[in-house]
C-alpha cells in the first residue's frame, strides 16, 4: 500500500490537499535529453502546477565543469534557490513532465545540500494532468527566503572514488541505463563515449522501478528488483547512469525501502565513457 512520505515521495492527492499550505514550495524540474524535441522551459511557461517554480538543472549546475549538469557549488545553489523563493522551513515537492525522469535528480541535489524536507511527486505532471487537476500559465509570486545549506559529501562520488570501489568491491555499483547500453550493444546518446559499463557494476534500468503510469512501484517490489538484479544490499551503494540524472531514481528507490547508505556518481557515463585511463566492461555483469 502506498504511503505518502514528505521526505521521499508523495501522491497527487497529497499535493492537491497541501497545495495552498503557506510553507509548501513546488518545483518543476522537467528536463529532456538533447534531441527529444521537447523544451522544458517553454512547456512550463504554457502550463504548470499552480505556484510551481522552474528548476533548471542545466543552469543550476557547476559551469566550471565540461560535464553536463554537475552539482553546483554550495554558494550557487543557495543563491539560485533563494531566487526561487525556496528556503529554510519549506516543504518542497518536485515533479517533472515525463512522470519520473529528472525530478529525483533535484530531490537528490537538495539532500546533497543537507535539505531533507523534499519529496518527489509520484507520477509527476502526467498523472496530475490525467486526473484533471488544476494547471496554470501564471508565473508564481516569489519572495526571497534564505536557505542554509551544508553539503553532505558522503552522498556523491567522483571518478577516482568509483574506480577504487570497482576494484575493491566494497560498494555495490548500480547502473540505471537501459540494459543494451550497459552491455555495450547500443550507442550512447552523447558522441565520443565508449560503450559498456563500469567493471563489477550491476544493471538495473530505472524503468524497471516504474509502473505503466510512471509511478514508482511499492517499496517491497523495488527491494526485490534490486535483489533480482544481483545487487548486494548489505554493501553501501553507488548509483550511476548516463549523466547523473536517472541514477537519482535508484537512490530514491533505496530510500523508499529503507536503505540510506547510497551515493551518486555525478560524472556517470558522460565522464567514465570519455576517460581513456579507466577500464570498461561489456556484456552481462
Q: What is the pLDDT of residue 33?
A: 82
User: What pTM did the predictor assign?
Assistant: 0.97
CATH 3.40.250.10, the chain: domain bounds: 9-151, 154-272
Fold of 154-272: Oxidized Rhodanese; domain 1 (3.40.250)
Eight-class DSSP state of 197: B
The catalytic residue positions are 241
pLDDT at 107 over 80: yes
Q: Which CATH architecture has domain 9-151?
A: 3-Layer(aba) Sandwich (3.40)
The number of beta carbons lying within 10 Å of the beta carbon of residue 65 is: 14
d(CA 254, CA 262): 8
Q: What is the pLDDT of residue 137?
A: 98
d(CA 104, CA 10): 12
Q: What is the pLDDT of residue 189?
A: 85
Query: What is the rounded average pLDDT of the residues 191-200?
Result: 94
For residue 138, which phi and psi values (nearest 5 degrees)?
-70, 130
Q: State the angle between helix axes of 219-228 and 247-256 in degrees (0 to 180), rounded to the nearest 10.
A: 120
Q: What is the pLDDT of residue 34?
A: 76
Amino acid at each position: 500500500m502506498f504511503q505518502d512520505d514528505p521526505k521521499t515521495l508523495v501522491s497527487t492527492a497529497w499535493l492537491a490537499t497541501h497545495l495552498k499550505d503557506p510553507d509548501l514550495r513546488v518545483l518543476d524540474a522537467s528536463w529532456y535529453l538533447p534531441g527529444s524535441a521537447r523544451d522544458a522551459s517553454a512547456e512550463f511557461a504554457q502550463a504548470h502546477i499552480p505556484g510551481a517554480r522552474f528548476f533548471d538543472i542545466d543552469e543550476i549546475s557547476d559551469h566550471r565543469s565540461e560535464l553536463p549538469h554537475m552539482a553546483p557549488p554550495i554558494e550557487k545553489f543557495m543563491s539560485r534557490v533563494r531566487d526561487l523563493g525556496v528556503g529554510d522551513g519549506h516543504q518542497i515537492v518536485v515533479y517533472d513532465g515525463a512522470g519520473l525522469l529528472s525530478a529525483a535528480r533535484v530531490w537528490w541535489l537538495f539532500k546533497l545540500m543537507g535539505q531533507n524536507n523534499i519529496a518527489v511527486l509520484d507520477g509527476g505532471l502526467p498523472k496530475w494532468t490525467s486526473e484533471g487537476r488544476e494547471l496554470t500559465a501564471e508565473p508564481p509570486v516569489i519572495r526571497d527566503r534564505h536557505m542554509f545549506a551544508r553539503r553532505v559529501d558522503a552522498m556523491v562520488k567522483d571518478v577516482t572514488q568509483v574506480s577504487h570501489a570497482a576494484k575493491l568491491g566494497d560498494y555495490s555499483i548500480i547502473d540505471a541505463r537501459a540494459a543494451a547500453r550497459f552491455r555495450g550493444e547500443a550507442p550512447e546518446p552523447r558522441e565520443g563515449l565508449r560503450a559498456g559499463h563500469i567493471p563489477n557494476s550491476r544493471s538495473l534500468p530505472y524503468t524497471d522501478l516504474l509502473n505503466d503510469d510512471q509511478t514508482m512501484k511499492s517499496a517491497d517490489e523495488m527491494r526485490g528488483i534490486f535483489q533480482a538484479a544481483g545487487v548486494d544490499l548489505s554493501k553501501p551503494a553507488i548509483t550511476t547512469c548516463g549523466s547523473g540524472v536517472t541514477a537519482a531514481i535508484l537512490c530514491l528507490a533505496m530510500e523508499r525501502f529503507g536503505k540510506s547508505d547510497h551515493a551518486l556518481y555525478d560524472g556517470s557515463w558522460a565522464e567514465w565513457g570519455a576517460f581513456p585511463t579507466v577500464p570498461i566492461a561489456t556484456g552481462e555483469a
